[in-house]
């Protein structure tokens, strides 16, 4: 019998509900229980693939090609469990399925109603995860905050599940306790209101995770206990942290793992979080810095969402740096400035490594190409991810092979040298405007060429990596690229597609058509990020 833990948010968003959900998964897993993590998103979008990353964060890609909310990336990094389409629910998916069934007369002439048919479909989908994964625990995060109109049907589904499975369902409210500057003390009232709002939809929180600048004290625990109907020790301290991977460790300090098991009447097995704790301790002691620049275009929406747009890339840099004994210092470099003012390109030499991450469309592309050229010529370690690979190919074609005006057809459909183009099946998608969920998505094999940097980084000849792109390297140009110093270090064997490129005579110049960042874990950094950071680390040593 699976147990269900619903995680919902109170007071405001962006207080780390995803990290809290992932951490709950982690601490239960550390106690020897299997967990599945599920995200319910309130958007009508079928998936996150059509949502702008600057507003909603990165689109995380699962093994099976699901384009999901970035929280699924957090879940994977914490629990090392692979996410699939089943682990990601949106309002859009739920309605689409109910309407599809109605069109098939599957409701036997009954009228189809928002309640209970929509919550029932949500419950059915959660049941699918239970059936497939057979996990001891399903930790289900409900997007948004309580009191919003948009997520109410997910909460209704959770309430209905509690009614049916009384002893197998519990609720965690992740709430914010502000410490107003002038007042200087932690206030519980907004959380009291959030708890009451939850009560008004028929749900009683079992635990309240008290997100705040500081740990919660006993006086406020008592207050929350009295006004929110919980035991004082069910108010769990969740202070701000410098490193998100500390959160499970903090939860354990407050015995959240044993408290949850206790509520379900399960006996605690010995906790195995030693390696994780050792890693977080080590991170605190790191002093040596490594300076990495990310050249992108999503720069005008403010620092916070910016970091979210590239979260898997940032985390991958951290994992690899930590494992090599570095503390990374990451800077955002706006490619559009290099277009307006090419002299500013010289700033790239302040960094030990440059990453050009994934991207779409024409804006800022010429600046990225200039940055790549600068890295090539000045031997700055370079890692190009997806669009980063494609633009490195464009740069090499134009500036090394002499193919003037070479481009990707994404930006210039009429270029004389379409070095990056679409495969026939994608052309049809574009023509017929079938653009949602139709890119080359999910895990594909990549065969590595021996003697390359990538081969020695992975230490094996066949790997599998996740993709999200519509365009590809045009095989007609492979020969001329290779003649001019480009190495095709990895191909997808079934269709002979270029997956990795490298440059000869460069300390580290690697581009991947896939997104290695989706598979990096804190205790298992991605080999290519590690190789890139190792090369970047050498730049420090040369300078000193």
Catalytically active residues are 386, 515, 517
Q: Which is nearer to ligand GLN, 449 or 470 (CB)?
A: 470
Question: Is the distance from CB of 190 to CB of 174 less than 8 angstroms?
Answer: no
Q: Which is nearer to ligand GLN, 9 or 358 (CB)?
A: 358
> Which DSSP string do the residues of 424-459 spell out, in sequence order?
HHHHHHHHTT--TT-SEEEEEEEEEPTTSHHHHHHT
What's the closest the beta carbon of residue 469 comes to ligand GLN, in angstroms?
3
What's the closest the beta carbon of residue 406 comes to ligand GLN, in angstroms?
16
Residue 416, C-beta contacts closer than 8 angstroms, at least 6 positions apart:
403, 404, 405, 406
395-424 residues in contact with ligand GLN (CB under 6 A) are 410
The closest alpha carbon to 383, from 295, 261, 311, belongs to: 295
- Give the integer Cα–Cα distance in Å for 365 and 293: 16
How many chain residues interact with ligand GLN (CB under 6 A)?
11
What's the closest the beta carbon of residue 358 comes to ligand GLN, in angstroms?
3
Q: How far is CA 329 from CA 124, 218, 321, 499, in A?
A: 45, 37, 10, 28
245-274 residues in contact with ligand GLN (CB under 6 A) are none
Q: Which is nearer to ligand GLN, 81 or 512 (CB)?
A: 512
Q: Does 469 bind ligand GLN (CB under 6 A)?
A: yes
What's the closest the beta carbon of residue 492 comes to ligand GLN, in angstroms?
14
> Which of these segments, 83-91, 212-220, 226-234, 355-363, binds ligand GLN (CB under 6 A)?
355-363
Q: Which is nearer to ligand GLN, 23 or 520 (CB)?
A: 520
> Which of these segments, 297-305, 399-407, 466-474, 534-542, binds ligand GLN (CB under 6 A)?
466-474
Q: Which is nearer to ligand GLN, 220 or 421 (CB)?
A: 421
What's the closest the beta carbon of residue 313 comes to ligand GLN, in angstroms?
11
- Terminal-residue alpha carbon distance, the chain: 59
What's the closest the beta carbon of residue 6 comes to ligand GLN, in angstroms?
33
b vs e for 183-205, b when ≥16 Cβ sit within 10 Å of the residue's Cβ?
Answer: eeebbbeebbbbbebbeeeebeb
Q: Which helix (H) or strand (E) holds 337?
A: helix 335-340
What's the closest the beta carbon of residue 22 comes to ligand GLN, in angstroms?
24
Query: Coil, strand or helix: which one is 169?
Result: strand
- Give the integer Cα–Cα distance in Å for 534 and 530: 6
- Give the integer Cα–Cα distance in Å for 426 and 413: 14
Q: Which is nearer to ligand GLN, 299 or 360 (CB)?
A: 360
Q: Which is nearer to ligand GLN, 58 or 136 (CB)?
A: 58
Q: In this structure, what are the phi and psi dihedrals at residue 105, rounded to the nearest 5 degrees?
A: 60, 30
What's the closest the beta carbon of residue 439 comes to ligand GLN, in angstroms?
6
Binding ligand GLN (rule: CB under 6 A), the pick from 190, 225, 360, 366 is 360
User: Pairing between strand 440-448 and 462-469?
Assistant: antiparallel
User: Pairing between strand 353-356 and 88-90?
Assistant: unpaired
> Which of these segments, 17-25, 104-112, 358-366, 523-531, binds ligand GLN (CB under 6 A)?
358-366
Q: Does 468 bind ligand GLN (CB under 6 A)?
A: yes
Cα 352 → chain centroid: 25
280-299 residues in contact with ligand GLN (CB under 6 A) are none
Cα angle, residue 242 at apex, residues 240 and 245 outer, rounded to 5°: 95
Q: Does 359 bind ligand GLN (CB under 6 A)?
A: yes
Query: Coil, strand or helix: which one is 345?
Result: helix
> Which of these segments, 9-17, 165-173, 326-334, 465-473, binds ligand GLN (CB under 6 A)?
465-473
Query: Coil, strand or helix: which one is 5?
Result: strand
Q: Which residue has the tokens 């890609």?
A: 61
What's the closest the beta carbon of residue 50 comes to ligand GLN, in angstroms?
14
> Which of these segments, 75-83, 112-120, 353-361, 474-482, binds ligand GLN (CB under 6 A)?
353-361
Q: Which is nearer to ligand GLN, 410 or 502 (CB)?
A: 410
Q: Which residue has the tokens 């048919």?
A: 117
> Which of these segments, 126-134, 216-224, 244-252, 383-391, binds ligand GLN (CB under 6 A)?
383-391
Q: Does 117 bind ligand GLN (CB under 6 A)?
A: no
Q: Which is nearer to ligand GLN, 468 or 478 (CB)?
A: 468
- Give the integer Cα–Cα distance in Å for 503 and 487: 6
Q: Which helix (H) or strand (E) holds 497?
A: strand 497-503
What's the closest the beta carbon of residue 218 comes to ligand GLN, in angstroms?
49
Look up residue 112 and give its two tokens: 């189809």
Q: Does 60 bind ligand GLN (CB under 6 A)?
A: no
**Within the chain, what is the greatest distance between any pair of CA atoms?**
78
Cα angle, residue 196 at apex, residues 190 and 201 outer, rounded to 5°: 135
Q: Which is nearer to ligand GLN, 61 or 238 (CB)?
A: 61
Strand partners, 464: 445
> Which of these segments, 47-55, 398-406, 464-472, 481-489, binds ligand GLN (CB under 6 A)?
464-472
Binding ligand GLN (rule: CB under 6 A), the pick from 158, 386, 406, 501 is 386
Question: Is the distance from CB of 446 to CB of 490 less than 8 angstroms?
Answer: yes
Residue 125, C-beta contacts closer than 8 angstroms, at least 6 positions apart:
86, 89, 93, 94
Residue 505, C-beta contacts closer than 8 angstroms, at least 6 positions apart:
485
Look up residue 339 and give its two tokens: 């277009």
User: Where do contacts with ligand GLN occur on this chain (CB under 6 A)?
Assistant: 358-360, 386-387, 390, 410, 468-471
């Amino acid at each position: 019998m699976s147990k269900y833990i619903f995680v919902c948010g109170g007071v405001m968003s962006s207080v780390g509900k995803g990290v809290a959900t992932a951490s709950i998964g982690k601490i239960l897993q550390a106690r020897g229980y299997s967990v599945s993590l599920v995200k319910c998103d309130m958007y009508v979008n079928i998936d996150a693939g059509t949502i702008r990353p600057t507003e909603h964060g990165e689109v995380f890609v699962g093994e099976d090609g699901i384009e999901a909310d970035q929280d699924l990336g957090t879940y994977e990094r914490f629990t090392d469990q692979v996410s699939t389409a089943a682990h990601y629910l949106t309002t859009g998916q739920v309605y689409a399925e109910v309407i599809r069934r109605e069109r098939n007369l599957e409701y036997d002439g009954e009228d189809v109603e928002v309640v209970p048919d929509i919550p029932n479909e949500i419950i059915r989908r959660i049941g699918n995860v239970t059936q497939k994964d057979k996990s001891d625990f399903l930790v289900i995060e409900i997007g948004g905050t309580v009191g919003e109109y948009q997520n109410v049907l997910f909460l209704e589904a959770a309430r209905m599940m509690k009614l049916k499975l009384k002893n197998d369902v519990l609720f965690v409210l992740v709430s914010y306790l502000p410490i107003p500057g002038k007042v200087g003390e932690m206030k519980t009232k907004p959380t009291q209101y959030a708890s009451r709002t939850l009560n008004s939809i028929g749900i009683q929180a079992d635990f309240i995770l008290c997100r705040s600048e500081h740990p919660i004290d006993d006086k406020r625990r008592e207050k929350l206990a009295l006004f929110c109907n919980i035991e004082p020790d069910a108010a769990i301290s969740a202070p701000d942290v410098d490193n998100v991977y500390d959160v499970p460790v903090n939860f354990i300090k407050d015995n959240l793992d044993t408290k949850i098991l206790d509520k379900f009447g399960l006996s605690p097995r010995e906790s195995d979080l030693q390696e994780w704790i050792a890693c977080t301790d080590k991170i605190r002691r790191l002093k040596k810095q490594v300076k990495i620049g990310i050249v992108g275009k999503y720069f005008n929406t403010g620092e916070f969402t910016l970091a979210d747009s590239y979260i898997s890339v940032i985390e991958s840099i951290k994992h690899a740096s930590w494992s090599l004994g570095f503390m990374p210092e990451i800077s955002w470099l706006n490619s559009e400035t290099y277009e307006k003012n090419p002299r500013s390109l010289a700033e790239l030499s302040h960094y030990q490594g440059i990453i050009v991450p994934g991207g779409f469309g024409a804006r800022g592309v010429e600046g990225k190409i200039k940055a790549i050229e600068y890295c090539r010529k000045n031997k700055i370690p370079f890692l190009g991810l997806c669009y980063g690979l494609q633009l490195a190919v464009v740069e090499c074609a134009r500036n090394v092979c002499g193919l003037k005006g070479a481009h990707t057809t994404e930006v210039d459909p009429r270029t004389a040298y379409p070095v990056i183009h679409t495969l026939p099946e994608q052309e049809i998608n574009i023509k017929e405007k079938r653009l949602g969920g139709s890119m080359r998505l999910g895990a594909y094999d990549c065969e590595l060429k021996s003697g390359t940097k990538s081969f020695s980084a992975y230490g094996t000849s066949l790997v599998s990596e996740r993709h999200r792109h519509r365009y590809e390297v045009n095989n007609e140009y492979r020969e001329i690229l290779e003649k001019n110093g480009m190495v095709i270090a990895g191909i997808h064997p079934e269709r002979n597609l270029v997956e990795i490129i490298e440059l000869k005579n460069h300390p580290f110049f690697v581009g991947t058509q896939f997104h290695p960042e989706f598979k990096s874990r804190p205790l298992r950094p991605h080999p290519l990020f590690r190789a890139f950071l190792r090369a970047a680390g050498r730049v420090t040593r040369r300078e000193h």
